[in-house]
Amino acid sequence: MTTNQPLIGMPMQQPYNGRPEMLVGAAYCRAIEAAGGVPLPIPLSDAPWVMDRCYGMIDGLFLCGGGDIAAHFYGAVDSGALTAIDEPRDRLELALTRRALQDGLPIYGICRGVQTLNVAAGGTLYQDIPTDFPEALDHRASTGQPLGHVAHAARVEPGSLLEDMLGVGDSSVQVNSFHHQAVRDVAPGFRVNAWSPDGVVEGIEPRDGDVHVLGVQWHPERMVPQREDMVRLFTRFVDACRAR
């Protein structure tokens, strides 16, 4: 490992078809590599020495998108709307995220990743937007469309880390959308940094901003390299990992 090429830990997931495999999305890896980082897939394991060894190697934690987090991890009962639950992944990601938050390790979460970040820090989730927000936008509007298909705008909080990274002068950004869950109660010590027009949370970050910790609900990796603002979300994260 060199100081110029930080190792970025990326917890893996099990495929939705139930095959005995572990996967990590190629688009996430390519985006991290393009930003100058080395993606390091972390296998799903309940063995503490596996997590300890992997965690000790990484300079930052990247939380990918994917299926739903089991409701009991945020003190709720499964409503029946949850899909593609992967509890070994839940356990590993929540443990790694809590450890990274405690140690001041940079974190970047995308889609499911912002939800994992929120739950790990003590927040909760809406289990299904169509059920909880019947008049909400279609937050799966980009599904089946070109990867960078814009679903809606997101209002970005002035003065936030996200605004600084995006460089949005009008505090608005065009985003894609592939989710049916969202942040409900924001975790203590965190604040919302972006909202969709219907009020659904599109991103969170710590209030103090001392460490590079960011979660966004859309999929920037699917908008790279056509969008320079989305590229910056990866380069700034990798730069923060390198600075450690």
Residue 156 domain-assigned (yes or no): yes
pLDDT value for 1? 41
Task: Burial-class residue 95 by CB neighbours within 10 Å (0-12, 13-18, 19+).
Answer: middle
Say how many domains are in the chain. 1
The sign of the CA dihedral 210, 215, 219, 221 is positive
Indicate if 219 belongs to the active site. Answer: yes
Say which of 54, 205, 219, 241 is annotated catalytic.
219
- Among 29, 54, 64, 111, which one carries the catalytic annotation? 111
Q: Is residue 216 part of a domain?
A: yes
Q: How far apart are CA 137 and CA 173, in angstroms?
A: 16
Which of the 8 DSSP states describes residue 143?
T
Residue of 93, 163, 202, 221 with catalytic role = 221
Residue 1 domain-assigned?
A: no
Q: What's the domain range around 141?
A: 7-243
Walk across the sheet containing 172-175 and list its strands: 38-42, 7-11, 60-63, 107-110, 213-216, 201-206, 190-195, 152-156, 172-175
Calpha distance 227→40 (Å, rounded): 25
Q: Residue 227: its pLDDT value, please?
A: 94
180 is catalytic: no
- Please give the average per-residue pLDDT across 123-130, as a whole number: 97
- Main-chain phi, psi angles of 195, to 5 degrees: -130, 150
Reply yes or no on whether 205 is catalytic: no
237 lies in some domain? yes
Once rounded to an integer, what is the mean pLDDT over residues 157-186? 92
The pLDDT value recorded for residue 4 is 84
Tell me the pLDDT band of 33, cut-offs 50, 70 and 90.
very high
For residue 2, tell me if it sits in a domain.
Answer: no
Residue 173 lies in a domain: yes
**pLDDT value at residue 13:** 95
Find the CATH number of the domain harbouring 173: 3.40.50.880
**Confidence (pTM):** 0.96
Q: Residue 209: its pLDDT value, please? A: 85
Judged by average pLDDT, the poorest of 3-7, 129-133, 138-142 is: 3-7
pLDDT at 7: 98
